[in-house]
Amino acid sequence: MADSTFLSGYDTAVKAVIYSKFSSILGFAETSDEEVNISNNVLQYPKEIALRKRAEKQVQDFLEFANIWRTGVSFDWNRQSTRAARTGLWLSVSDDSLETVHVKGVPVNISYNVWFWSKSLDKINKCIEEYTFWQQDNPQLSILYNDTYALEPDLHFGEVLDESTIPDEFEKGIIFCYRMSVKVDAWMLKSTAFKTIHKIVVTVYDKDEISAYSQIIGDEADPELEAVLRLFRRVLYHIYSISLAANSITLSKDFSSDFAIGSKFQIVNSDDNNGVYTISGISTVSGKTVITVLENLQSETVTGSIYKAD
């Protein structure tokens, strides 16, 4: 969604889908530029000024066009209990990035009126028929969030109303104009960026015999006391990738000095790969640690962490 706001992005998507679905029926004037075609043939103005705006564009057949206007935005309580609205989702910024974002959504209903204009009642009737069958023919918008994640909000439809100029037939001529409604089950998304945690060190001390924690760590740390009081230390490492072909695990940073050939570590929270592994090789490639293991890895799905005693 390249538009500056989510609302303008939905406006653009609705205009595009109206153009795609009804251009062949109304016979919109076209150029080789699709964006120009949409802009010239599906206007975003209220009905009262749409005809004037269409004429100002100086399109040859200016009576065959459509216009949309957003009429309202309302909060949708029925979708408030979904995961995206209540707790949010964690998404990767891109396929090759370690950065993730926490995305929360607000569910809203966006209502539009769509008018179809033509001097041919037959074309209008075909638009009405296409509109009524739309509910059974992929009634969704296709929008990308962050150019990666597909949003496919559902569309809902209402009644068709005749707003033609038949009463002005003898003064202005007949222009057939029918109004149809479109409601979008939309989401307003907001994200907060977070950096991936590459390494977590957990150390537990028995410090009953000391009066201040600074005696263990701090400006005047006592290494001997720290060694005596330390009960254990565990380290968690972020798994960057897994290769079944090489039977190896890649960590996101250079932690090669933390490991030794022949030592063991555990993979946790990784389903198929959970278990204890023996290190058979260690190397550094492009700033990342590649660990080869003796035991067979089961899946290349990157989940969980390496859990290692230190």
Which span out of 27-31, 43-47, 220-224 was modeled with the highest average pLDDT? 43-47
Residues 297 and 267 reside in one and the same domain: yes
What are residue 279's DSSP bridge partners?
293
Number of Cβ within 10 Å of residue 15's Cβ equals 21
| CATH value at residue 269 | 2.40.30
Identify the domain boundary among 182, 208, 238. 182
Residues 118 and 143 reside in one and the same domain: yes
**CB half-sphere exposure, 49, CA atoms < 13 A:** 6
Decide if 221 is inside a domain. Answer: yes
User: What is the C-alpha to C-alpha distance for residues 115 and 122, in angstroms, rounded to an integer?
Assistant: 15
Decide if 191 is inside a domain. Answer: no
Residues 206 and 164 reside in one and the same domain: no
Residues 29 and 135 reside in one and the same domain: yes
Residues 153 and 19 reside in one and the same domain: yes
pTM of the full predicted structure? 0.61
Residues 50 and 168 reside in one and the same domain: yes
List, as one string, the DSSP characters of 175-194.
-EEEEEEEEEEEEEEEEEEE
Number of domains in the chain: 2
Residues 221 and 177 reside in one and the same domain: no
**CB half-sphere exposure, 115, CA atoms < 13 A:** 24
Residues 57 and 121 reside in one and the same domain: yes
45: containing domain: 6-74+110-182
Residue 144, pLDDT score: 79
Residues 34 and 169 reside in one and the same domain: yes
> Each residue of 93-104: pLDDT tens digit?
665 555 677 788
**Residue 216: what are its φ and ψ, rounded to 5°?**
-95, -50
> Each residue of 276-300: pLDDT tens digit?
999 999 999 999 999 999 999 999 9
User: What is the C-alpha to C-alpha distance for residues 238 and 201, in angstroms, rounded to an integer?
Assistant: 12
